[in-house]
Copies of this chain bind each other. A is one copy, B any other.
Amino acid sequence: MTKRVYNFYPGPATLPLPVLERAQEELLDFAGTGMSVMEISHRSKEWDKVMSDANSLVRELMGVPTDYKVLWLSGGASTQFFMVPLNLQQPGKPMEYVNTGGWSTKAIKEANLYGEVKIIASSEDKKFSYIPQNIEFNEGTAFAHISSNNTLYGTEWHYMPKVPSDVPLVSDMSSNIMSKPVKVKDYGVIYAGAQKNIGPAGITLVIVREDLLDRVPENIPTMQKWKIHAERNSLYNTPPVFPIYICKLALEYTKEVGGVKEMERRNEEKAKVIYDVIDSSDGFYEGHAREDSRSLMNVTFTMASSELEDKCVKEGEARGLIGLKGHRSVGGMRASIYNAMTIDGVKTLAEYLREFQSENQ
């Protein structure tokens, strides 16, 4: 019997145990080929099936309309930070961003290389502890960009900003993709590094409306064009086969247990367990995010002193509760409870936090 801890790391993050078991079982012999999935050609029929299954599962689970392409790309969301403006820029039009934290800030920095960027709202004034409300993007904008969940600060968008109908909304959903249903048709582009909610590190999911593929300038490197990857079904060059394969298994698992709607139910239940501990702690635990902006994925909180926080992290580790240290930009603690985190894990954490409070108050 394998020892298994509860892993609250912000990403790479915990994966569903049945997915890992399946990967382990067939690691030396994939689909009866006598080869590992890592060893089969990306031009083989066995690989074709993995890719086409992964695509179909994304389409089905997210309800992706037929006029959108599903791409599997390299380089993480950090690469999309420049590929978004590069592929969507329009001469003479500004690009509009909302700044809700570290990842938005990085996305904005890359966009600045390609033209005028307007930051139409920011929550930097209060340490990114909230999502600006009543956001409206402007006419005449090349595209509108948000980060739907903010891993570092534990905030999440719980409403749709207003976007003019001819302005594509772009969302970095790295840390909450498939955690709840979204209407894909409300977006021009959705992108997400896989390593939080849908798989391991090393692969990025990009969903892009077809008409937007034609905006890309001619004279840029081939690998930077969504259009090329769309035309080649993400096989322009050798893709990261193993990460895509694990995503496929995780998507199958998501479907099996009830899909994205069921994920939302679980995620709401899980988040409530932890936020209840915080809210009933009489200030022993202090939530970082404003209540209306609380993330269901990353619960951030602080305590009276960093010594106490360190103690809490350390004693949690000893009990098999791993990865609770907060990001240096917020300090304190953070429990990342993505799709694959179980309700048992969350309840065990809640119990521990209550105990820790009663022992250290």
Assembly of this chain: how many copies?
Answer: 2
Picked from B10, B12, B221, B240, the residue with its CB within 8 Å of the CB of A243 is B240
Complex interface: chain B residues within 8 A of A28 (CB): 2, 4, 17, 20-21, 24
Least CB separation from A114: chain B residue: B221
Complex interface: chain B residues within 8 A of A201 (CB): 38, 42, 238-242
Report the contact-size class of chain A (Cβ under 8 Å from the partner): 35 or more
Complex interface: chain B residues within 8 A of A159 (CB): none
- Does A9 have its Cβ within 8 Å of any Cβ on chain B? yes
| Contact, CB under 8 Å: A78 / B237 | yes
Complex interface: chain B residues within 8 A of A322 (CB): 33-35
| Contact, CB under 8 Å: B23 / A223 | no
- Does A128 have its Cβ within 8 Å of any Cβ on chain B? no
The CA of A219 and the CA of B40, in the complex, are separated in Å by 39
Complex interface: chain B residues within 8 A of A35 (CB): 4-5, 7, 14, 322
- Knowing A28-B24, A222-B110, the reply to whether A241 touches B74 (Cβ < 8 A) is no
Least CB separation from A193: chain B residue: B238
Complex interface: chain B residues within 8 A of A29 (CB): 2-4
- Knowing A27-B20, A203-B202, the reply to whether A34 touches B4 (Cβ < 8 A) is yes
Least CB separation from A4: chain B residue: B34
| Contact, CB under 8 Å: A238 / B12 | yes
| Contact, CB under 8 Å: B9 / A221 | no
| Contact, CB under 8 Å: A195 / B238 | yes
- Knowing A39-B7, A39-B15, A222-B110, the reply to whether A75 touches B74 (Cβ < 8 A) is yes
The CA of A160 and the CA of B195, in the complex, are separated in Å by 42
The CA of A193 and the CA of B241, in the complex, are separated in Å by 13
- Does A36 have its Cβ within 8 Å of any Cβ on chain B? yes
| Contact, CB under 8 Å: B10 / A41 | yes
Proximity bits, A133-174, B CB within 8 Å = 1, else 0: 000000000000000000000000000000000000000000
Least CB separation from A8: chain B residue: B41
Complex interface: chain B residues within 8 A of A132 (CB): none
The CA of A20 and the CA of B37, in the complex, are separated in Å by 11
- Does A320 have its Cβ within 8 Å of any Cβ on chain B? yes
- Does A11 have its Cβ within 8 Å of any Cβ on chain B? yes
Least CB separation from A204: chain B residue: B74
| Contact, CB under 8 Å: A238 / B76 | yes
| Contact, CB under 8 Å: A320 / B78 | no
- Does A79 have its Cβ within 8 Å of any Cβ on chain B? yes
- Knowing A9-B39, A39-B13, A113-B219, the reply to whether A34 touches B239 (Cβ < 8 A) is no
Complex interface: chain B residues within 8 A of A74 (CB): 74-76, 79, 202, 240
Known: A12-B238, A74-B79, A113-B220. 10 other contacts (CB 8 A): A2-B28, A9-B41, A13-B39, A20-B38, A24-B27, A34-B322, A74-B240, A76-B238, A81-B223, A200-B242
* Closest 7 pairs (CB-CB, A-B): A202-B240, A82-B221, A5-B34, A78-B237, A38-B200, A74-B74, A24-B27
